[in-house]
Structure 1
Amino acid sequence: MSEYKPRSVDEIAQCVAQDIKEGMYVNLGIGQPTRVADFLPKDKDIFLHSENGVLGMGPAPEEGQEDGDLINAGKQYITLLKGGSYFHHGDSFAMIRGGHIDLCVLGAFEVAENGDIANWFLGRENDIPAVGGAMDLAVGAKQVYVIMDHVSKNGEPKIVKTLKLPITGERCVNRIYTDLAVIDVTEQGLVVREMVAGLTFDALQAKTGAKLIG
């Protein structure tokens, strides 16, 4: 059996950050995706957008330096870079729906091999659905990256042939970053770009509910 160490949340966020190109307008979804902001290179101009009406976000503030007027859509404190601004959330969604966001990074419960994503409702009794801006971002952003664990807490694959959970967006995911691998969603199928050290392709396939291409 191969020995490997899954990536931490911060290590996944670093992987995403290094793939974001200079000049991009990027929305970071609620939860794990917000960590990407802390690893963006300071020598690149990358413009972070939040659907509650912020453009030009920086990393999380130092403890004790929080500003109650500066939060993201996940109700986390943020910083504002020079030239940044905040505005009505209606204008923010106009940016999303108008196709002005180059990339969004979303969390997910499931991603299908054709790029369908489910990230707003697990379908469990008494759970409160939380759509937020995910449906708008899934169809409005030019590219969609997903951050998630490769399998659920029960060990079930989260990358699947067909979604079992309520869909957020159809055929919209371009790349998946998990604690085990980086996978591109292509017309030919799911192409493995990178795996953690020590993990074999067969072991990764065994944890995936859809066919992978090496």
Structure 2
Amino acid sequence: SNFVPAGREVLFHAEIGVLGYGEMTAPGEGDPELVNASGQTVREQPGMSCFDHAEAFVMIRGGHIDISVMGAFQVSEKGDLANYMVPERQIGVIGGAMDLASGAKKLIVTMNHTTKDGKPRIVKKCSYPLTAINCVNLIVTDIAVVEVTDRGLVLKEVAPGWTPEEVQSLTEPTLIIDPDCQEMVLM
């Protein structure tokens, strides 16, 4: 919520039961009971509303969330999402991720392009347990922006210093290089 450009209105929703909150507060400031989905304290602002957890999920499951942004361990070429469990560690809780992935009108996934040992996270088929199928619309990684389409994965942007060929070498499925593929603008 701290990075919304001036003049742009964004209503942030947290599954704990708050809609329309403001920026995060500095550590030690703010009401400890007014937090975002990550538990960080946020500022009140005019029009903000608080409600119970069940109402928050009615909004999510009812398709009233325009865009959801979440992390992932893997995304398949079909837009399948795996983001709640690391099988080799046998840990993970799905929480509201399944609801957000299937209930939001658009799902943007942010993640590192590869694992710590260099394996692709954008894969032909997820090997981790699925959170939801065919739900991801856009993948934003540290080196690329990839759109999930019916035609396949379209490379839209590359990070400064990267080429489409280098991004492809770290991506399991074949990427369609957008003719207008450009360098990411980093802020």
TM-score for the superposition, normalised by structure 2: 0.91
Match of 1:209 among 172, 177, 185: 172
Of the structure 1 ranges 168-177 and 67-76, higher mean CA displacement relative to structure 2 is found in 67-76
Structure 1 position 65 matched with structure 2 position 17? no
Separation of aligned partners in 1, 2:107 and 2:38: 18
> Is the partner of 1:137 in helix, strand or coil?
helix
Separation of aligned partners in 1, 2:162 and 2:109: 21
Structure 1 position 193 matched with structure 2 position 156? yes
Amino acid at match of 2:140: Y
Separation of aligned partners in 1, 2:128 and 2:91: 14
Larger RCO, structures 1/2 (Cα 8 Å, 6+ apart): 1
Separation of aligned partners in 1, 2:58 and 2:6: 28
Aligned equivalent of 2:96: 133
Match of 2:142 among 173, 176, 179: 179
Residues 1-214 of structure 1: pairs in structure 2 closer than 5 A: 37-125=1-89, 127-214=90-177
Amino acid at match of 1:39: F
- Displacement of 1:200 in angstroms is 1.2
Going by fraction, where is helix more abundant, 1 or 2?
Answer: 1
Q: In structure 2, list runs of 5 or more residues that go unmatched.
A: 178-187
- Displacement of 1:187 in angstroms is 0.5
Provide the alpha-carbon RMSD of the alignment. 1.1
Q: In structure 1, list runs of 5 or more residues that go unmatched.
A: 1-36
Aligned-residue identity in percent = 45
